[in-house]
Amino acid sequence: MKRWIAKGLVLSSVFFSPAVNSTAEVIEDRNISRDSRLQRIRNFFNRQKCPVEKYAEEFIIAADNNKLDWRLLPSIALVESSGGKVYRNNNVFGWSSCRRRFPSVKAGIHAVAERLANAPQYRDKDLDSILKTYNSRPIYSKTVKRVMIQLSAEPI
């Protein structure tokens, strides 16, 4: 992992987006504590000593509520903020080049998920197109997808 993410490196996202509604938190009452995805995210972030490990459940809820691949949000968070090691404004995704402020990291997770699912520039796009819109540098998409593959392979 350290081969392609330097300690403290934050890749900036290049894209345009209107203000994100911080009330985008739509949390459904359901028990995901036995969901294998939850343990994979926790194990992955724990191994990397990433502070966002404590938000593993929120990544899954936000992805499910917005019909996103469950691996996308944690992967972007790892690439953009080294999993919450380097960020500002409660923005672990580098959203709007880190200028976008969120009331909490949790609110940011849900707001970014909502935008990736519903904003005109992202809606109805496949993964490659979403990532190209999020950050147009060719290496960015490859890097995020590499993390997604690692998350899938994470032992439970």
pLDDT given at position 137: 95
pLDDT at 154: 87
Q: Is residue 14 part of a domain?
A: no
Tokens of residue 84, six digits: 């919450």
Q: What is the pLDDT of residue 37?
A: 95
Residue 74 lies in a domain: yes
Residues written for the chain: 156
- Please count the other Cβ atoms lying within 10 Å of the Cβ belonging to residue 6: 9
**Using CA atoms in the order 88, 90, 92, 95, what is the torsion angle rounded to 10 degrees?**
-80
- pLDDT mean by block of 10 residues, the chain; 156 residues: 40 35 42 87 97 97 97 98 97 95 98 98 96 96 97 89
Residue 83, phi-psi category: left (phi > 0), alpha (psi -120 to 50), beta (remainder): left
**CA-CA distance, 143 to 120, in Å (whole number)?**
24
118 falls within a domain: yes
Three-state DSSP at 42 gives helix
Q: Quick check: is 9 in a domain?
A: no
Measured CA to CA, the distance from residue 106 to residue 60 in angstroms comes to 12
Asked if residue 22 is part of any domain, the answer here is: no
Cα 130 from Cα 84, distance rounded (Å): 22
Domain annotation covers residue 4: no
Closest CA to 91 of 107, 75, 115: 107
Which domain, by its residues, includes 127?
Answer: 36-151
Tell me, yes or no, whether 125 lies in a domain.
Answer: yes
Instruction: Specify if 137 maps to a domain.
Output: yes
User: For position 132, which CATH number holds?
Assistant: 1.10.530.10
Amino acid 30: pLDDT? 59
pLDDT value for 33: 75
Q: Using CA atoms, how far apart are residues 35 and 71, in angstroms rounded to an integer?
A: 13
Report the domain count for the chain. 1
Amino acid at 87: Y
